[in-house]
């Protein structure tokens, strides 16, 4: 049988144990509050609360912004006070932008995109800053095509040399057959540019007797009939006049190259005779086709010829061509 403690001793012992219990409870409460506080701070930092994860939804165009999908809703503290459970990380496809379209390739953007921040297209939709869309009117040049503007950058700029020593025969006497197809260049071009053609018998469809020309310089329709008094109604124009070529580098070419230049289909067009006579040996600074709709193609062909044969242009000539292609910046030169 145990010895009974005195009343006062029993009370003191009980009182001591109660105080220890209360101190332990306060320490536990403080520790729990600290743990909960740390959990709440972690949720706020990662954006785990409902609604926070949508703050960057407008930046889905930037692939780096998909990192925000890691902050999924559902990370809040549970009612029991347990620590928040991390939601599984999943990647979701960014929503397609509705206000602008990424250009599919350089130079292939929609008309109206100026590429400046805050700009809009023709429908009023906002454009992406820095877009590389095509500027100005007209279609984009075909892949690999050389525009007139690009050709001008490659063509030297110099003053006109003296005409001393020039003669038509420096480019070969008369029309030749450099492609050896059995037909001279004049008849090759008539066959190319005229419609409804008839040919001289037993010439293997070489010598053109009649046809109709849709004149590129005037826009008119001209009936061609071969004959001493009628053939001059349709003339074969050297787009880069031979005299002009001579004064801008051709005098330094060898005889065979000059002959090819004079008979190259790239440099030849069937045109209205009187209009061609008025052109004479002018370059783009002194003469352009009366039909404005053809001027872009005309200067493109001149640029192609000068680029192909290493001829130069004068400053005034380049300036005139630049003014023409300002209305058709995508105009490409013919293949050289």
pLDDT tens string 270-321: 999 999 999 999 999 999 999 999 999 999 999 999 999 999 999 999 999 9
Report the percentage of the chain scoring pLDDT > 90. 56
pLDDT of residue 113 exceeding 80: no
Q: What is the pLDDT of residue 117?
A: 29
Distances (CA, A) of 239 to 15, 26, 28, 295, 331: 118, 101, 98, 12, 17
**Which of 66-75, 93-102, 124-133, 146-155 ranks highest by mean pLDDT?**
146-155
Q: CA–CA separation, 245 vs 163, rounded Å?
A: 10
Lowest model confidence (mean pLDDT) among 90-104, 137-151, 178-192, 306-320: 90-104
Across 189-212, average pLDDT: 97
Q: What is the pLDDT of residue 336?
A: 79
CB-based contacts of 291, cutoff 8 Å, min separation 6: 216, 217, 218, 219
Q: CA–CA separation, 336 vs 334, rounded Å?
A: 6
pLDDT of residue 97 exceeding 90: no
CB-count exposure of residue 4 (10 Å: 0-12, 13-18, 19+): exposed
Q: What is the pLDDT of residue 82?
A: 42
Mean pLDDT of the chain: 72
Across 150-173, average pLDDT: 97
What's the gap between Cα 56 and its chain centre? Answer: 31
pLDDT of residue 269 exceeding 90: yes
Q: What is the pLDDT of residue 140?
A: 63
């Amino acid at each position: 049988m145990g010895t009974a403690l005195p009343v006062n001793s029993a009370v003191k012992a009980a009182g001591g144990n109660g105080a220890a219990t209360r101190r332990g409870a306060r320490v536990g409460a403080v520790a729990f509050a600290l743990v909960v506080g740390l959990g709440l701070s972690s949720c706020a930092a990662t954006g785990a609360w409902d609604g926070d994860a949508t703050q960057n939804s407008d930046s889905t165009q930037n692939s780096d912004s998909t990192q925000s999908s890691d902050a999924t809703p559902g990370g809040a503290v549970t009612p029991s006070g347990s620590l928040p459970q991390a939601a599984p990380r999943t990647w979701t496809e960014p929503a397609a932008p509705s206000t602008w379209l990424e250009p599919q390739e350089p130079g292939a953007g929609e008309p109206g995109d100026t590429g400046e921040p805050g700009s809009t297209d023709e429908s009023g939709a906002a454009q992406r800053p820095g877009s590389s869309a095509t500027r100005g009117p007209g279609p984009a040049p075909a892949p690999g095509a050389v525009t007139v503007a690009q050709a001008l950058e490659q063509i030297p700029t110099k003053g006109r040399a003296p005409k001393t020593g020039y003669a038509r025969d420096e480019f070969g006497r008369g029309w030749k057959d450099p492609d050896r197809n059995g037909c001279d260049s004049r008849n090759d071009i008539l066959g190319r540019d005229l419609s409804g053609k008839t040919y001289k018998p037993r010439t293997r469809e070489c010598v053109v007797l009649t046809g109709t020309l849709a004149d590129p310089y005037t826009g008119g329709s001209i009936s061609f009939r071969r004959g001493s008094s009628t053939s001059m109604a349709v003339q074969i124009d050297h787009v880069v006049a031979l005299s002009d070529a001579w004064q801008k580098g051709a005098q330094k070419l060898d005889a065979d190259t000059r002959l090819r230049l004079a008979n190259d289909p790239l440099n030849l067009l069937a045109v209205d005779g009187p209009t061609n006579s008025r052109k004479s040996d002018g370059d783009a600074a002194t003469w352009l086709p009366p039909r404005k709709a053809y001027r872009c193609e005309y200067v493109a062909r001149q640029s192609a010829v000068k680029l192909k044969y290493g001829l130069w242009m004068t400053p005034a000539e380049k300036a005139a061509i630049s003014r023409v292609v300002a209305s058709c910046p995508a105009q490409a030169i013919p293949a050289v």
